[in-house]
Amino acid sequence: MNIDAYRWRPPKPNYLPHNVDLDPFVENYDDIQLGRPEAYENAQFFSKIKRAAQEYNITRPKGYNVSFHANPEMEKHHFGKTHPMKPWRLTLTKSLVMSYGMSFAMDNYIARAATYEELNNYHASEYLDHLALTPADDVPRLEDDNEKAQTKFNIGLSDCPLFQGLYDYCSMSAGGSIDAARKICSGQSDIAISWGGGLHHAKRSEASGFCYINDIVLAVLQLLRCYPRVLYIDIDVHHGDGVEEAFLSTDRVMTVSFHKYDPREFFPGTGALTDNGPKSEHNPGAHHALNIPLNDGITDQQYEQLFQTVITQVVERFRPSAIALQCGADSLAGDRLGRFNLQVQGHSSCVAFVKKLGIPMILFGGGGYTPRNVARAWAVETSIAIDARDKLDPVIPMHAPWRDHFKYDAELFPSLQKILGEPRANKNTAKKLQDIVQHVGEQLKFVSIAPSVQYQVIPPDLQGIRDDVEDRLKEETEERDDQLRRTREEGVGVAGERGQQKNLAYCKKLTVSQLKADLKRRGLSVSGKKADLVERLRMYEETGRESGGGSGGGTDSESHIGSTYNDNDMDWEQ
């Protein structure tokens, strides 16, 4: 296979791969038999969960529908013995959900595999072809300057290994999330659950952070066909960089990510507080990416208060018509990669808070590398979706499959002491959290309240949205520059009162930021109100023209009102 035929590119400079050896002990579930049970075993289990539903009074929620999307074939895939990602956690989650009888309260669907065309709605054809056709034992490799073995599209590294059935695994994950979104769009579901999805790191043409296909992006694209504004919330311990990047240039999606942030030591090294989308105010996506960077050891109380405060502000301002909530469970205490002190109670409180908003919602899975903790969290969050949280027995039912794997006396809500022994040091100060809330409030001031949007056909390639925005911004900049140049040319040589009136009128049209920028370039004071700035700039222009001042009399563009502005250096006022 000729590697030169591929448009391969190395990871971003800030790409920080997971350290898969972060914890020396990674549970091995190779001995778990995941084959289909015999008919009599199915009948016995069905009888037990039916009795459990009656015992716990599990009924369908009143006034709304919940759908549950899963595929047992997806759960059988294996990333490798030492890899933290264990798809078997989905089996454990589903068995716990069923053991409490919760499946009787939902519409249950076997997730189908997404088609190539559906995956191609976001991902590049070349990337999908490589994902589908490259066998596990034949990975083309390149040697970079550091003599590190890199593979095409980041597939084949320790983070994103090739394994048997990789394409099937990805397409089933995406299919469940796409179908969940379609149930929301059709009105058949008010809450749809896809615990097999939530793979938020995958890029358009690049695997990243255990993620190959970004099912969340594909699901949100479905939601945008029938909802004007979608809010994406991410409570994974890692920054939701892939989703943020996909919708960077649109104001129809706002992304809010709560995550551990360390640009040097923690994957993916992105998601700083000041990363709020495109820098240009002319880009519709500006201020529509909110990042909540956290340190090790945050507690339930801190997390709940911060989450509720931030999301309340966001919802009041953005007013989403649908919500996509990624419930990565690696933010729980005891995770192989996470370093928070969150318990199931604190993590699930986020789901409960969003549910109370009464907005159509998809619940996605995500990270989570201690399977028993993942299953606990997602089972409890499923119970919240069907309004049965208070009905669950705090001790896992005796008939639950693989009950021994839950440890901690099979408690549904084990204490922090049982999980960690001693809580991790909390490095999140009250001031840090207050500063975060303040910054979020400042960013939201730039967001139009319930911005109206024009419905349009979503391009097959999501990259087309960003390309269209960038092309439009470029055209607007060129048009603005032409207009300013014509205005300057008209003003050259105009003397007396007519010229003064023209300069004064033009000065008044400029915004405060434009006036300050022009004055600053001329070395003049930028203090005072707009009227003061206008008069100061007008006087400078008149004096400079008459005396041949400035930087070239009346002909140098830098000495005249309306010189070219650089969007990247300006904080344009609305």
Indicate whether 218 pLDDT > 60: yes
Indicate whether 245 pLDDT > 60: yes
Range with top average pLDDT, 135-139, 483-487, 488-492: 483-487
Residue 208 sits in the same domain as residue 309: yes
Indicate whether 567 pLDDT > 60: no
Rounded to an integer, the average pLDDT of 108-136 is: 91
Residue 432 sits in the same domain as residue 471: no
Range with top average pLDDT, 112-121, 446-455, 486-495: 112-121
Range with top average pLDDT, 123-132, 149-158, 479-488: 123-132
Indicate whether 511 pLDDT > 90: no
Residue 507 sits in the same domain as residue 426: no
Rounded to an integer, the average pLDDT of 36-54 is: 82
| Residue 165: Cβ-neighbour burial (10 angstroms; 0-12, 13-18, 19+) | middle
60-74, 252-266, 371-385, 505-519: the lowest-pLDDT one = 505-519
Structure confidence at residue 380 (pLDDT): 98
Structure confidence at residue 523 (pLDDT): 77
- Report the percentage of the chain scoring pLDDT > 70: 74
CATH number at residue 99: 3.40.800.20
Structure confidence at residue 452 (pLDDT): 64
Structure confidence at residue 419 (pLDDT): 94
| 330, 368 Cβ separation under 8 angstroms | yes
Domain that holds residue 565: 463-569
Structure confidence at residue 379 (pLDDT): 98
The residue among 200 and 480 whose pLDDT is bigger is 200
Residue 423 sits in the same domain as residue 517: no
Length of the chain: 574
CA distance 118 to 225: 14
* Domain end marker among 397, 414, 444: 444
pLDDT band with cut points at 50, 70 and 90 for residue 143: very low
Structure confidence at residue 550 (pLDDT): 41
**Averaged pLDDT of the chain:** 82
Indicate whether 440 pLDDT > 70: yes
* Domain end marker among 411, 444, 477: 444
Structure confidence at residue 530 (pLDDT): 81
Indicate whether 353 pLDDT > 80: yes
Structure confidence at residue 560 (pLDDT): 37
CA distance 496 to 75: 81
The residue among 9 and 492 whose pLDDT is bigger is 492
Rounded to an integer, the average pLDDT of 403-429 is: 94
Look at residue 137 and tell me if it is in a domain.
no
Residue 409 sits in the same domain as residue 511: no
- Report the percentage of the chain scoring pLDDT > 90: 61
Look at residue 324 and tell me if it is in a domain.
yes
Structure confidence at residue 136 (pLDDT): 58
Structure confidence at residue 83 (pLDDT): 92
The residue among 574 and 78 whose pLDDT is bigger is 78
Indicate whether 469 pLDDT > 70: no
pLDDT band with cut points at 50, 70 and 90 for residue 326: very high
Count, in order, helices (H) and strands (E) of the chain: 16, 10
Residue 250 sits in the same domain as residue 395: yes
Residue 418 sits in the same domain as residue 531: no
CA distance 16 to 264: 8
Residue 467 sits in the same domain as residue 388: no
Residue 270 sits in the same domain as residue 335: yes
- Say how many C-beta atoms besides its own lie within 10 A of residue 389's C-beta: 16
Structure confidence at residue 529 (pLDDT): 79
pTM of the complete model: 0.75
pLDDT digits (tens, 9 = 90+) for 4-30: 333 333 333 333 444 444 443 344 454
Structure confidence at residue 267 (pLDDT): 95
Range with top average pLDDT, 195-199, 279-283, 456-460, 479-483: 195-199
| Residue found by looking up tokens 């206008």 in the block | 534
CA distance 356 to 364: 17
Structure confidence at residue 513 (pLDDT): 76
Look at residue 450 and tell me if it is in a domain.
no
Structure confidence at residue 2 (pLDDT): 34
Look at residue 288 and tell me if it is in a domain.
yes
Look at residue 405 and tell me if it is in a domain.
yes
Residue 248 sits in the same domain as residue 371: yes
- Say how many C-beta atoms besides its own lie within 10 A of residue 45's C-beta: 17
* Domain end marker among 402, 417, 444: 444
Indicate whether 416 pLDDT > 60: yes
Look at residue 489 and tell me if it is in a domain.
yes
Q: Just list the catalytic residues.
A: 201
268-277, 367-376, 468-477: the lowest-pLDDT one = 468-477
Number of domains the chain contains: 2
Structure confidence at residue 464 (pLDDT): 57
Residue 550 sits in the same domain as residue 426: no
Rounded to an integer, the average pLDDT of 119-141 is: 80
Nearest to 288 by CA among 317, 321, 263, 309: 317
Indicate whether 36 pLDDT > 50: yes
Indicate whether 509 pLDDT > 80: no
Indicate whether 468 pLDDT > 70: no
Indicate whether 543 pLDDT > 80: no
DSSP assignment of 81-137, as one string?
Answer: TT-S--THHHHHHHHHHHHTTGGGGSEEEEPPPPPHHHHTTTS-HHHHHHHHH--TT
The residue among 199 and 3 whose pLDDT is bigger is 199
Residue 397 sits in the same domain as residue 489: no
Look at residue 179 and tell me if it is in a domain.
yes
Look at residue 123 and tell me if it is in a domain.
no
pLDDT digits (tens, 9 = 90+) for 220-231: 999 999 999 999
